[in-house]
Structure 1
Amino acid sequence: MGDTENATSCPDRPDDALLAALEGATAPAPPAPPDCPHCGLPQDRYRTQYTGHWVLLEPRIHVAAHTLLPRRRWLLSPDGVAMNLWDAEPLPDTRCRIAHRAVCPHLPREGEPPWVTAIRQENERRAQRLFDLPDPWTLPETG
């Protein structure tokens, strides 16, 4: 009767590519290096729950989940998959990762707490060092 025999997927369900783009899971897939395409800094790359999509997470930064705005909290599952829990309230003492796009010095700022601004400024300093290296032939000779 009616639509009960229709086995196609629901047309209102957004596909993985759209959700991945909304969450910023747009990192280059392996074997490409896990470098930010905007600032060039190396990042930690994790696959996401969206097939074929990867996210760059800021290396060595683990923060209390409640200090981040909803939709910016990335958790790692035991099998190494990064998940953004959107608006789900984290459990007390949950630590999460921050996406690099939130602190990339070459991307527009979004509403951010002061500590995120500090990470962005440090990344800007680090990225500048990547591109402001002296020419090899002008280095002083050591002897």
Structure 2
Amino acid sequence: MGDLETTSSCPDPPDRSADYFQVLFEGATAPGPPAPPECPFCDLRQDRYPTSYTGHWILLEPRVLVPAHTLPPRRRWVITSTGTAMNLWDAEPLPGARCRVPHRIVCPYLVPEVGRPWVTVLRRHNRERAQRLFELPEEGLPDTG
């Protein structure tokens, strides 16, 4: 048996199995660089940040910053001064605090987990963005023949 070089798009699991569960639970499963920062389900480009779990990344909605109290606990992400995304978990947000929205709760191709009206609107917006990328209109295309 020779040395086999294996490549994987999945990062190595954290050292502790409890950490690996947290990575999955928090959705820190985005492909790391050099892969493009796109959702594997809807192909929309997102903001990708490293997490405190070595080798694990999270996709956050680009240009979307919301009042922290509007997101449920464990879905509130902030970017630290070092550029690492940190999940606030159950910490009660300070008045006026803002946080980032994880893409997985507004991805149009994943099962919705949060029933807040603005989340539904953002999912609908993402669905329209994804359709523009992949579903060209049948009528009105120029004749190339």
Letter in 2 for 1:57: L
- 1:58–1:98 CA contact under 8 A, matched in 2: yes
SS of alignment partner, residue 91 of structure 1: coil
- CA-based RMSD: 1.7
Structure 1 segments of 4+ aligned residues over 3 angstroms from their partners: none
What is residue 52 of structure 2 aligned with on the other side? Answer: 49
What is residue 97 of structure 1 aligned with on the other side? Answer: 100
- 2:79–2:86 CA contact under 8 A, matched in 1: yes
Compute the TM-score of the two structures, normalised by the length of structure 1.
0.83
* Structure with larger Rg: 1
What is residue 34 of structure 1 aligned with on the other side? Answer: 37
- 1:23–1:71 CA contact under 8 A, matched in 2: yes
- 2:49–2:59 CA contact under 8 A, matched in 1: yes
Q: Which runs of 5+ in 2 are unaligned?
A: 1-15
Name the stretch that deviates more: 56-65 or 103-112: 103-112
Sequence identity (%) = 61
Q: Which runs of 5+ in 1 are unaligned?
A: 1-12
Which of 78, 85, 92 is matched with 2:88 structurally?
Answer: 85
Q: CA deviation at 1:18?
A: 1.9
